[in-house]
Amino acid sequence: MSDLSVIEVDARGLDCPMPLLKAKRALNAIKSGEQLRILATDRGSQRDFQVFAKQSGHLLLASEVDGDVYRYLLQKR
């Protein structure tokens, strides 16, 4: 795969459903195959992004926890 830049959405400090809504808005603005990294502090975002990826068809490439920050990497389909 080519070296596409990864768009980053910083949703730290935002409660549900804002991290997911910000991610959806960003995904609408990028092309198929491009990647989106989301930073969040909402614990519920772990479940939200797993369900969202399954329902939307986008790929959840990574889901990591670093202290109190949750990091997700989505690829737009």
* Count of structural domains within the chain: 1
Q: Which residues, in sequence order, are bridge partners of residue 64?
A: 71
What is the percentage of the chain residues whose pLDDT exceeds 70?
95
Instruction: Decide if 18 is inside a domain.
Output: yes
Q: Cβ(42)–Cβ(71) under 8 Å?
A: no
Instruction: Decide if 1 is inside a domain.
Output: no
Cβ-based neighbour number of residue 63 at 10 Å: 16
Marked catalytic residue, from 16, 18, 30, 73: 16
Instruction: Decide if 15 is inside a domain.
Output: yes
Question: Residue 19 catalytic?
Answer: no
Range of the domain at 67: 6-75
Residue 68 sits in a domain of what CATH number?
A: 3.30.110.40
Instruction: Determine how β-strand 59-66 pairs with β-strand 6-11.
Output: unpaired
What's the pLDDT tens digit per position in 27-63?
A: 999 999 999 999 999 999 999 999 999 999 999 999 9
Give the global pTM.
0.91
Instruction: Decide if 24 is inside a domain.
Output: yes
